[in-house]
Amino acid sequence: MSVADAFGRAAHYDAHAAVQRIVAEKLADRILALPLPPDPRVLEIGCGTGFLGLELVDNLEPSHWRMTDIAPAMVDRARQRLDDRANVSFAVMDGEHPDVAGRFDLICSSLTFQWFGDLPAAVARLRRRLSPRGSLVFTTLAEGSFFEWRRAHGDLAPGTRDYPSTEALAAMGLEVEIETIPMAHKSAREFLRSVKGIGAGTPRDGHRPLTPSELRGVMGRFEAKGCVASYVVATCVAGPL
């Protein structure tokens, strides 16, 4: 299943998205502290159901906020939340290859760039779409995310992706801040349900699914260590190229 289909099917995204909500709120505070031009023109990538837009649209008073996501169902849900704002528009778009005209004072995104195939190239492309005083600001998962789940795999290969290190992000010209958010779960099953519930269950390319007995072993070891899965969140900022 494609990433867009998996997110499109996440009908109960909001109920499972506690971390996403916290991260979007903190990102909104970070954006409000930036020296942006007045009435900024904004492009949001991977808007999901609209957490970040909801935090910012009224406070930032953008001249225009373009909300985009690769999953049509997510764009529909964001539209249901924010359609009453005259300065907001919606589009289905692959943010890794943005199909938009003009330059933006702010390009922002929360917990989406970890799905990009070539992050350095995407970052460079997006920085070229900034106005002279514009900023690219995003959160993404970084190295160490879900290390407890990975550890429970022992010698087996986990389906979780390889997330970039702070050094790799800095090498893309990004200013990086890291925060670790440990999330406790009732059981391994509940952890897996939450990952699926937010549409993030797509394994990395080439992953061999575990056999039922291998999966039971992983779940048992994960539960034996307390059922905590940590999100290592990088907040990244850069100016135009």
Ligand X SMILES: C[S@@+](CC[C@H](N)C(=O)[O-])C[C@H]1O[C@@H](n2cnc3c(N)ncnc32)[C@H](O)[C@@H]1O
CB nearer to ligand X: give 38 or 82. Answer: 82
Q: Which of 31, 42, 43, 52 binds ligand X (CB under 6 A)?
A: 52
CB nearer to ligand X: give 162 or 212. Answer: 162
Residue nearest to ligand X (CB): 48
Q: Which of 42, 57, 67, 112 binds ligand X (CB under 6 A)?
A: 112
Is residue 104 within 8 Å of 136, Cβ to Cβ?
A: no
88 binds ligand X (CB under 6 A): no
- Ordered strands of the 104-110 beta sheet: 88-92, 64-69, 41-45, 104-110, 130-141, 228-238, 175-184
74 binds ligand X (CB under 6 A): yes
* Residue 71 CB, nearest approach to ligand X (Å): 4
* Residue 168 CB, nearest approach to ligand X (Å): 19
Q: What is the 3-state secondary structure (H, E, C) of the chain?
A: CCHHHHHHCCCCHHHHCHHHHHHHHHHHHHHHCCCCCCCCEEEEECCCCCHHHHHHHHHHCCCEEEEEECCHHHHHHHHHHHCCCCCEEEEECCCCCCCCCCCEEEEEEECCHHHCCCHHHHHHHHHCCEEEEEEEEEEEECCCCCHHHHHCCCCCCCCCCCCCCHHHHHCCCCEEEEEEEEEECCCHHHHHHHHHHCCCCCCCCCCCCCCHHHHHHHHHHHHHCCCEEEEEEEEEEECCC
Q: Which of 24, 57, 108, 219 binds ligand X (CB under 6 A)?
A: 24
198 binds ligand X (CB under 6 A): yes
237 binds ligand X (CB under 6 A): no
* Residue 188 CB, nearest approach to ligand X (Å): 20
* Residue 38 CB, nearest approach to ligand X (Å): 25
40 binds ligand X (CB under 6 A): no
Q: Which of 31, 36, 42, 71 binds ligand X (CB under 6 A)?
A: 71
Q: Which amino acid is at 196?
A: K
7 binds ligand X (CB under 6 A): yes
195 binds ligand X (CB under 6 A): no
149 binds ligand X (CB under 6 A): no
Q: Which of 28, 70, 174, 236 binds ligand X (CB under 6 A)?
A: 70
Residues within the interface to ligand X (CB under 6 A): 3-4, 7, 17, 20, 24, 45-48, 51-52, 69-71, 74, 94-96, 110-112, 115-116, 198, 200
